Amino acid sequence: MSSLLTGADGRARCAWVGTDAEYQRYHDEEWGVPLHGDRALFEKMSLEGFQAGLSWITILRKRPRFREVFDGFVPERVAAFDEDDVERLMTDAGIIRNRAKILATIGNARLVAGMRDGELDELMWSFAPDRERARPKSFDDVPAVTTESTAMSKTLRARGFRFVGATTMYALMQSTGMVDDHVEGCWRYT
């Protein structure tokens, strides 16, 4: 498979985007762009956790509903969810109805709500590798797990976070711009 795909707009993009317009927008505007803030990173952590075992496009298409039913991913609001909220979420076809992932999101929100302002951002970004690291020339150069994502996962798990495995955390690092894995030739490759 080629690492690049040229869209109808003439721009070469990372080929994982395919031809889906929403995926192209996500690639062009969000993926690999540095993201900061406890709420924003909690949302990304939650969505990456829901994505485990599924395709990201599934999550991306359901993201508006996720944001609605999880109160904008405001940690303090989600931390207050109870069993009635879990049951409400389990019946909502607009999201991924996985009890373990829903419970993990609520539990993770409680942990974030107990942190000082900015602590999650500081903690997660402390694992970002040196920005001067080698950039991928092709898909073959893009890892699924790194030393940094493994360390992030281990630290978060030690604090009680769930659905934060090393592969999931590397996907988070890519999507939040902690690493920039746009392949050589992609118009976003800088």
Q: Which residues are catalytic?
A: 26, 48, 56
Q: Per-residue pLDDT tens for 67-77?
A: 999 999 999 99
Establish whether 182 is an annotated binding residue: yes
Q: Quote the pLDDT of residue 91.
A: 98
- Kindly list the structural domains of the chain, giving each domain's residue range(s) and its CATH number in brackets, ordered by start: 38-119+133-176 (1.10.340.30)
The annotation status of 14 as a binding-site residue, yes or no, is yes
Q: How far apart are CA 101 and CA 96, in angstroms?
A: 8
27 assigned binding-site residue: yes
Distance in angstroms (rounded) separating the CA atoms of residues 91 and 65: 13
Helix axes 56-69, 21-29, angle to 10 degrees: 80
| Other beta carbons within 10 Å of 50 | 24
Global pTM? 0.95
Half-sphere exposure in the Cβ direction for 82 (13 Å, CA): 1
**Does residue 67 sit in helix, strand or coil?**
helix
Which strand (E) or helix (H) includes residue 100? Answer: helix 99-113
Q: Which residues lie across from 13 on neighbouring strands?
A: 5
Mean pLDDT, the chain, integer? 95
pLDDT of residue 1: 59
Query: Residue 6 pairs with which residues in a beta bridge?
Result: 12
Q: pLDDT class for 34, splitting at 50, 70, 90? A: very high
Taken in order 114, 115, 117, 123, is the CA torsion positive or negative? negative
